[in-house]
């Protein structure tokens, strides 16, 4: 078991510096343009593919880092470059992880390469879970998947929303209800292959921030997919549903709900790391500005009101990173989140990103309110961290219920 450390090892530092160089030289110079265009930055993704950042192999190496720090380190550096472009680069990973976690070896080998494409023709994938009436409350999901035994096909109907790469993806991974009576344990994941009839892009959202990342609705109308597109296979699904029905009888459904929550809890530190990257970027701009901007004959950092803000900003960023690293290490080493440490890291880091970017705008004054300086964009981008992957209110609820021993619904 890897011991917890407060600094990266030499190999991790080398990867971090490589990622930082890519973020500084490729992502940052393109950030303002793609934010204004509100389009997927295909040329940047292609550059990431050429050097190996946009690939399953790279993310698998970081995911299986025994210290647990590979993924948070990667997220922090890429999102330090720009949140919108970085989300376009890492968004496919959500779908890939869904296949890795639930799929057979054959499904993994077949579909994940199609999600990424190659450096000459990059592809993206979409993970479709949220719905108009089922965001934080995943138990309210309505998209249905019905098995047609005569043709060995699954028929999907419903509408997904807030899907990163939704509608433009080569491969969609769709979560749907197969047994409404089992709550979240009655859900299953499906591959929708490229160009499948019945899948279409609905509304594309024009967002406040992360505008270089494509977010849209995905509409499923009598989408027929082969039986082998059920992740894990039907035999495994039938066995799981049978166990879930038995557990529901024994535990009144609570164990079913808690198991579903545990899956989300384990993924939240990565979002916290994204928030740390954005906060750190804004802090660095504000610090540089405060040291070079003079008013009344001296740099504005000499004013206690500015200096104390910067001190608080740096303290919160470092505290956020430590919470993220702790939760990531715990997840990698199999330690249970007995105090909802995953939610703690995501909550504190996301709230820090909002606060730090707002303070950065204030320190830059009028300049911070313009698009001539990046803190304006960083402030808009930071707003998403307290919303997606569970709102701050949901994080607090999970933490409080975990500490009190109350069931997490």
Query: pLDDT tens for residues 166-179?
Result: 999 999 999 999 99
The model carries a pTM of 0.91
More confident residue, 361 or 181: 361
Query: How many CA atoms does the CB half-sphere of 21 hold within 13 Å?
Result: 8
The residues, ordered by sequence, that sit 6+ positions from 180 with a Cβ below 8 Å of its Cβ are: 144, 186
CB 215 within 8 A of CB 207: yes
Per-chain mean pLDDT for the chain: 92
Q: Would the pLDDT of 409 be above 70?
A: no
Q: Would the pLDDT of 135 be above 70?
A: no
Position 289 scores a pLDDT of 97
Position 258 scores a pLDDT of 37
CB 83 within 8 A of CB 210: yes
Range 109-117 contact pairs with CB under 8 angstroms and sequence separation of 24 or more: 111/171, 111/191, 112/56, 113/56, 114/170, 114/171, 114/194, 115/56, 115/169, 115/170, 115/171, 116/49, 116/54, 116/55, 116/56, 116/92, 117/49, 117/170
Q: Which of 217, 265, 341, 389 is catalytic?
A: 389
Mean pLDDT of 356-369: 97
Mean pLDDT of 78-89: 98
Query: pLDDT tens for residues 248-294?
Result: 676 554 444 433 344 455 678 999 999 999 999 999 999 999 999 99
More confident residue, 138 or 88: 88
Give catalytic status of residue 389 as yes or no. yes
Position 250 scores a pLDDT of 65
Mean pLDDT of 7-21: 95
Mean pLDDT of 152-176: 96
CB 162 within 8 A of CB 169: no
Q: How many CB atoms lie within 10 A of CB 252?
A: 11
As a whole number of angstroms, the distance between CA 150 and CA 21 comes to: 55
Q: Would the pLDDT of 370 be above 60?
A: yes
More confident residue, 72 or 100: 72
As a whole number of angstroms, the distance between CA 63 and CA 68 comes to: 7
As a whole number of angstroms, the distance between CA 49 and CA 31 comes to: 18
- Percent of the chain having pLDDT more than 70? 93
- Least confident residue range of 8-17, 233-242, 310-319: 233-242
Position 34 scores a pLDDT of 98
Position 253 scores a pLDDT of 46
Query: How many CA atoms does the CB half-sphere of 46 hold within 13 Å?
Result: 7
As a whole number of angstroms, the distance between CA 169 and CA 155 comes to: 20
Band of pLDDT at residue 52, cut at 50, 70 and 90:
very high
Mean pLDDT of 50-59: 93
Q: Would the pLDDT of 86 be above 70?
A: yes
> What is the rounded radius of gyration, in angstroms, for the C-alpha atoms of the chain?
22
Mean pLDDT of 83-94: 95
Query: pLDDT tens for residues 315-346?
Result: 999 999 999 999 999 999 989 998 999 999 99
Q: Would the pLDDT of 407 be above 80?
A: no
Position 252 scores a pLDDT of 52
Nearest to 83 by CA among 272, 277, 357: 277
């Amino acid at each position: 078991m890897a011991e917890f450390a407060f600094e990266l090892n030499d190999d991790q530092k080398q990867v971090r510096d490589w990622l930082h160089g890519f973020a500084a030289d490729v992502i940052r110079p393109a950030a303002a343009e793609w934010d204004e265009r509100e389009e997927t930055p295909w040329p940047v993704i292609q550059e990431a593919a050429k050097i190996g950042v946009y690939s399953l192999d790279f993310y698998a190496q970081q995911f299986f880092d025994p210290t647990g720090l590979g993924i948070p380190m990667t997220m922090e550096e890429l999102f330090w470059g720009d949140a919108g472009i970085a989300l376009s680069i890492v968004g496919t990973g959500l779908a890939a992880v869904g296949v890795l976690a639930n799929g057979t070896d054959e499904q993994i080998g077949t579909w994940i390469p199609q999600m990424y494409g190659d450096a000459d023709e990059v592809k993206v994938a979409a993970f479709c879970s949220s719905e108009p009436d089922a965001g934080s409350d995943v138990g309210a999901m309505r998209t249905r998947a019905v098995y047609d035994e005569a043709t060995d096909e699954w028929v999907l109907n419903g509408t997904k929303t807030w899907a990163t790469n939704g509608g433009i993806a080569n491969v969609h991974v769709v979560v749907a209800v197969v047994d409404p009576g089992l709550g979240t344990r009655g859900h299953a994941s499906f591959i929708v292959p490229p160009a499948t009839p019945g899948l279409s892009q609905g509304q594309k959202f024009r967002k406040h921030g992360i505008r270089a990342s494509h977010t849209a609705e995905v509409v499923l109308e009598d989408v027929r997919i082969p039986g082998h597109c059920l992740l894990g296979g039907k035999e495994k699904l039938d066995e799981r549903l049978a166990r879930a029905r038995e557990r529901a009888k024994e535990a009144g459904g609570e164990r079913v709900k808690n198991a579903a929550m545990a899956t989300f809890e384990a993924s939240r530190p990565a979002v916290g790391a994204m928030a740390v990257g954005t906060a750190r970027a804004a802090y660095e701009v504000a610090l540089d500005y405060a040291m070079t901007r003079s008013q009344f004959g001296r740099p504005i950092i000499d004013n206690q009101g500015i200096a104390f803000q910067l001190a608080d900003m740096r303290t919160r960023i470092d505290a956020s990173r430590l919470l993220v690293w702790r939760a990531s290490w715990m997840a990698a080493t199999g330690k249970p989140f007995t105090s909802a440490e995953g939610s703690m890291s995501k909550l504190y880091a996301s709230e820090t990103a909002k606060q730090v970017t707002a303070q950065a705008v204030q320190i830059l004054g009028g300049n911070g309110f313009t698009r001539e300086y990046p803190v304006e964009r960083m402030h808009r981008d930071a707003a998403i961290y307290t919303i997606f992957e569970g709102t701050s209110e949901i994080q607090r609820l999970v933490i409080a219920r975990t500490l009190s021993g109350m069931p997490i619904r």
